[in-house]
């Protein structure tokens, strides 16, 4: 991983030289040989039918994403075409190429290759046929229902596993820095893949405290931005934990993290969820489609995990390994309750979906006891409001 760190540093220095130097620099020559496939511009144009509009599947701040087909086998790929004028885009490309070509995990987006040819900068990924969870939760037509609860839980667990691997599974910690709904993609088996490593940072050895002091401004997505990171301009693995907690609430509530069309107290999903948790009225914010479908014991653990992830101070949040284990336990409780329900032994009363700041009880049929408040990293006794996140993220 020392080689990866050196490559990133060198490439990001090059990307900051500006457009006037771009013609003098050959960025691709500075990428370690054999990392992944380098595509020619001709291959990229052939794959996308010369960037045809009917193959456009997404657009972001630094470029557009096209569906494409490579090689004679017609393998489906997603091709991110970076904007020529974006120096940040060049930095993101080098970041992703050097990182993703050397790490592999079932819950990280697979990078197939890249293209650096004159003014063109492209990244080539495996195509995720089911898109991101947003289109299956927030934008559902009459032809299909929103994602069921257990599938949402499975998505959360997949993302948690990917983040846990980045934080502790490598010689050096990798901090994603932009965990959000739009950066989660779903393959043909609905397996979650964490995507977009353009803002990722490499930290110290994973066994040490992962803290990186940033010289540049705070970057991230409004609503998901860690308030501790915004204040201190220090990014740690707990920065990802906060953003992941926001994602947990989105998947539970079936709404965006910020919705300015709602009344003032409900605009910020996280602040509203924390308030409802304290008042024992969380049933008010659950996605209506999920009402009567979540086992109370599963719900309590899930909400405690989400609440612990969005604690105001990073040091008070759990590690991703703890989060992963807690979510897996939550899914086990849901599966047990579903089995009991099918046998006619159990039902999910809506009025029991409350989870205020009090110790969790044993579940009603004595299997898989909920954790106690003693030594429980998810116990949230902090009733302090979140800091105002209205400041603009770069």
SS (HEC) of the chain: CHHHHHHHHHHHHHHCCCHHHHHHCCHHHHCCCCCCEECCHHHHHHHCCCCCHHHEEEEECCEEEEEEEECCCCEEEEEEEECCCCHHHHHHHHHHHHHHCCCCCCCECCEEEEEEECCEEEEEEECCCCCCCHHHHCCCCCCCCCCCHHHHHHHHHHHHHHHHHHHHCCCEEEECCCCCHHHEEECCCCCEEECCCCCCEEEEECCCCCEEECCCCCCCCCCCCCHHHHHHCEEEHHHHHHHHHHHHHHHHHCCCCECCCCCHHHCEHHHHHHHHHHHCCHHHCCCHHHCCCCCHHHHHHHHHHHHHHCCCCHHHCCCHHHHHHHHHHHHHHHHHHHHHHHCCCCCCCHHHCCCCCCCCCCCCCCCCCCCCCCCCCCCCCCCCCCCCCCCCCC
pLDDT of residue 30: 53
Q: What is the pLDDT of residue 211?
A: 63
Q: Could you list the active site residues?
A: 178
The pLDDT, as a whole number, for residue 78 is: 95
List the domains of the chain with CATH numbers.
2-126 (3.30.200.20), 134-352 (1.10.510.10)
Residue pLDDT tens, the chain, 394 long: 455 445 544 444 443 444 344 443 444 545 555 668 899 999 999 999 999 999 999 887 778 999 999 987 678 999 999 886 555 556 667 777 888 877 889 999 989 999 988 788 899 999 999 999 998 998 755 577 899 999 999 999 999 999 999 999 988 899 999 999 999 999 999 999 999 888 888 877 765 565 666 656 788 899 999 999 999 888 999 999 999 999 999 999 999 999 998 989 899 999 999 999 999 888 888 999 999 999 999 999 999 999 999 999 999 999 999 999 999 999 999 999 999 988 887 677 655 565 554 333 333 323 333 433 334 455 444 433 333 333 333 3
């Amino acid at each position: 991983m020392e080689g990866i760190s050196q490559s990133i540093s060198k490439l990001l220095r090059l990307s900051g030289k500006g457009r006037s130097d771009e013609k003098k620099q050959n960025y691709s020559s500075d990428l370690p040989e054999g990392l992944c496939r380098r595509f020619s511009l001709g291959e990229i144009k052939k794959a996308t039918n010369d960037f045809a509009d009917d193959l456009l599947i997404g657009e972001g701040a630094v470029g557009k994403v096209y569906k494409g087909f490579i090689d004679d086998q017609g393998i489906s790929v997603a091709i991110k075409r970076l904007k020529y004028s974006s120096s940040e885009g060049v930095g993101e490309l080098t970041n992703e190429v050097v990182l993703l070509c050397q790490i592999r995990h079932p819950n990280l987006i697979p990078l197939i290759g890249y293209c650096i040819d004159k003014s063109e900068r492209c990244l080539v990924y495996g195509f995720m046929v089911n898109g991101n969870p947003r289109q299956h939760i927030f934008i559902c037509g009459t032809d299909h229902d929103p994602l069921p609860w257990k599938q949402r839980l499975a998505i959360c667990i997949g993302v948690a596993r990917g983040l846990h691997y980045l934080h502790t599974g490598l010689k050096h910690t990798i901090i994603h820095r932009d965990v959000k709904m739009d950066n989660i993609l779903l393959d043909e088996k609905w397996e979650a893949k964490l995507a977009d490593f353009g803002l990722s940072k490499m930290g110290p050895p994973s066994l040490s405290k992962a803290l990186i002091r940033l010289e540049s401004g705070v970057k991230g997505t409004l609503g998901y931005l860690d308030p501790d990171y915004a204040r201190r301009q220090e990014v740690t693995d707990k920065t990802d934990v906060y953003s992941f907690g926001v994602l947990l609430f989105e998947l539970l509530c079936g709404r965006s993290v910020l919705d300015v069309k709602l009344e003032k107290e409900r605009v910020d999903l996280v602040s509203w969820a924390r308030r409802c948790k304290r008042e024992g009225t969380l049933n008010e914010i659950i996605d209506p489609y999920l009402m009567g479908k979540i086992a109370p014991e599963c719900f309590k653990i899930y909400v405690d995990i989400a609440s612990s992830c969005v604690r105001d101070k990073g040091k008070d949040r759990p590690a991703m390994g703890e989060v992963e284990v807690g979510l897996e336990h939550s899914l086990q409780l849901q599966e047990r309750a579903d089995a009991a329900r099918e046998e006619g032994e159990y039902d999910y009363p809506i009025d029991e979906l409350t989870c205020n700041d009090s110790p969790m009880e044993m579940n009603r049929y004595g299997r898989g006891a909920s954790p106690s408040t003693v030594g429980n990293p998810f116990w949230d006794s902090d009733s302090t409001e979140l800091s105002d996140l209205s400041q603009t993220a770069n």
